[in-house]
Structure formats: C-alpha cells, structure tokens
Amino acid sequence: MPTEPKMYLNGKIVDYADCKIHAFASVVKYGTGVFEGLRGYWNADAKQLYIFRLREHMERIRFGMKAMRYADVPSLEELERSIIEVSRANAIRATTHYRMIAYLDGDDELSTTGPTGIVVGAVVRGSSPRVENGMAAMISSYTRIADNAMPPRVKCTANYVNNRAAELEAKAGGYDGALMLTGEGKLSEASGACCFLVRNGRLITPDLSSDILESITRETVIELARTKLGLTVEERRIDRSEIAASDEMFACGSGWEVVPILSVGRIDVGDGKPGPVTRSIQQSYFDVVHGRTNAHANWLTPVW
Ligand code: PMP
C-alpha cells in the first residue's frame, strides 16, 4: 500500500524520496511527534473527493502541539491547506487515508520545543475487509497509558509504544487486534480505535476519562446514533465482564471506520456475528462520509 508520490514537507510539495528529516531531530530520539490519520472519500456520482472532518482533525493536532509545548503551532488554515495540496498534487480521485505528522526538528536536549515541522502523505486505500467480516479481539496484558503519565488524549508518537505492544501481542496470540484496560481495570480502547457495546438496544462507550483518545469517529457515531437512529448513548466506565453481557460490540476510528468485534478472548459477543445495530451505524456512517446525505455537509471538505 504505497504512499502517493507527492508529499508535503514544511510548506512545499516534494517527491516521496526527498521527504526527509535529520536523524538527530528531537522526534526521532524522544518521540515528540504529534500525528493525525484522516480520510478522504470519493463520491463517484458527484465526482468529488470529500475530506471527512478536516477541521476537527487539524484542531486536534494543534491541541497536541500545544500540550507538547511546541513553540510554534501552524495555523488551522495552513494545516488544512496542506491536506488539500497533497490531494491535488497527486490528482487523487479515490478513497484515501491521509497521514500528517507534526514534529520537532531541533537537535538538542530533552526540552527542545522547535522548530516545528509538518509532513503529509496520502495512501489510496478503501475499507478493510474487517468492516464487513468483523474481528476477533483479546484483552491485552498491557495496561493503557494513563492521563497523568502519557496522556492518550494527545496523539503523540511516543504514546503508540503502548498501542503497538498491545497489537503485536494480540497478533502473536492469533487474534486480529487488542482492547486495552485502564489502570483500574475498566475498558479503555482498541489499539487504534474507540469501542462501543450494544446492550438492550443502547450504545455504551468508555467516557473521555477512560484513558482514550478523544476520537472524532466516536463523536460522529454518538451524534449519528442519537440523531439519525434515535438510540440512547451512555458514556461511562465499563467493566470488562460487561463485554460478555453485551449483544454487540464494534470499534471505530478514521482509519478503521466501523468494525464489528465478534469475540473478545474467544468469548463470542452476542451470537458472534455482526449485529443489526452495528450494521445500521455502519450504513449511517458510510452515507455521511461519502456525502450521500445532506444532513452533515459541514463535516465534508470538497477537494475538487
Ligand atoms: N484511539 C486511538 C488510540 C487511535 O489511534 C485512534 C485513531 N486516531 C482512535 C482511537 C480513533 O480516533 P479518530 O476517530 O479520531 O480517528
């Protein structure tokens, strides 16, 4: 799955091969990068590429740079423009996953706060087969990082040592992916996605103090569930045992989209098949992101 040939590096479109930073940049040694993953959806009828919730993703990366004490934080407009420029430079007319990394470029000690670099690349990529088929998850033996240590709300590169450990452990154990628990043993999130349970027709998701990323897809799902599907949504602490008591479970994220979780630790969730509530959330989500409904047009930024 190659990155498209034209990338964005600090204000310029460059060839993939020239998109380089110094090996002694702070980001390499200390993991001081902040990143985003977002999608553009191709609508063949409208002949339009819609970037989904561009503004919210750029606001989140700016928040991350502030929380990481970056001396310079690029403007929203500059960041938004970089995504559009990469789309246009590669003449993208297909569903795409964009990766943006803000990084500290200085060769200095631990307390380096600049200069700020920005890199953007695009990978043309549709949905994973998991969106249709679902996945088997395990509860990781790795505890989710805590807000007062390495805040999961900040999407910084160093945090992902935790997610990576959980994901590789799950794969080594023959699972498709991992769910992590907080230090107090409550459900937190998946390695790259937030999660929801469905119980008696209600959606239940870990609250924002359950050491999760403030996921834009999570917020989207909550909004669609309430307004389009008329569902009650609870944001609260979730005991591990409540998973086995649930009828359905799914994970959601910009890259993952909406993925049914069919079992956890080889115990089926519900009957171990993608359930009707999950399917209706998927349908609403894909309608909105492709611009097949006018209801949330403000979430879409057209490229062409
Ligand atoms: N949690 C983690 C740990 C993630 O890496 C992601 C992906 N960004 C998510 C949740 C989902 O966030 P979003 O919906 O904003 O993509």
Q: Could you tell me if 197 and 145 lie in one domain?
A: yes
Residue 299 is assigned to a structural domain of this protein: no
Residue 190 is assigned to a structural domain of this protein: yes
Q: Could you tell me if 69 and 15 lie in one domain?
A: yes
State which of 104, 124, 144 marks the end of a domain. 124
pLDDT tens string 114-141: 999 999 999 999 999 999 999 999 999 9
What gap in Å lies between CA 171 and CA 177, rounded to an integer? 6
Among 145, 150, 162, 215, which is best to mutate for testing ligand 1, by the most ligand atoms less than 8 A from CB?
215
List strand residue ranges (DSSP E) for 125-272, in order.
135-143, 177-181, 187-190, 194-199, 202-206, 233-236, 248-253, 257-264, 267-268
CA 260, distance to chain mean position in Å, is 16
Contact call for residues 197 and 186 (beta carbons, < 8 A): no
Q: Could you tell me if 161 and 273 lie in one domain?
A: yes
pTM, 2 dp: 0.98
CA dist 95 to 14, 17, 49, 292, Å?
22, 23, 8, 14
Residue 281 is assigned to a structural domain of this protein: yes
Q: Could you tell me if 138 and 185 lie in one domain?
A: yes
Residues contacting ligand 1 via CB (< 6 Å): 37, 163, 189, 192-194, 213, 215-218, 253-254
Q: Could you tell me if 88 and 197 lie in one domain?
A: no
Q: Could you tell me if 137 and 284 lie in one domain?
A: yes
Question: Using CA positions, which residue lies closest to atom 7 of ligand 1?
Answer: 192
Residue 80 is assigned to a structural domain of this protein: yes
CATH number at residue 212: 3.20.10.10
Residue 216 is assigned to a structural domain of this protein: yes
pLDDT tens string 212-221: 999 999 999 9
Q: Could you tell me if 16 and 117 lie in one domain?
A: yes
Tally of domains in the chain = 2
What pLDDT, on a 0 to 100 scale, did the predictor assign at position 108? Answer: 79
Low-confidence residues in the chain, pLDDT < 50: none
- Token pair for 111: 């307390």
Q: Could you tell me if 139 and 280 lie in one domain?
A: yes
Question: Using CA positions, which residue lies closest to atom 1 of ligand 1?
Answer: 193
Residue 164 is assigned to a structural domain of this protein: yes
What gap in Å lies between CA 224 and CA 250, rounded to an integer? 15
Residue 114 is assigned to a structural domain of this protein: yes
Q: Could you tell me if 166 and 285 lie in one domain?
A: yes
Domain holding 102, by residue range, is 6-124
The β-bridge partners of 264 are 137, 267
State which of 124, 145, 171 marks the end of a domain. 124
State which of 124, 141, 168 marks the end of a domain. 124
What pLDDT, on a 0 to 100 scale, did the predictor assign at position 107? Answer: 86
CATH number at residue 53: 3.30.470.10
Q: Could you tell me if 263 and 203 lie in one domain?
A: yes
Q: Could you tell me if 109 and 252 lie in one domain?
A: no
Q: Could you tell me if 45 and 167 lie in one domain?
A: no
What pLDDT, on a 0 to 100 scale, did the predictor assign at position 1? Answer: 61
Residue 148 is assigned to a structural domain of this protein: yes
Question: Using CA positions, which residue lies closest to atom 3 of ligand 1?
Answer: 192
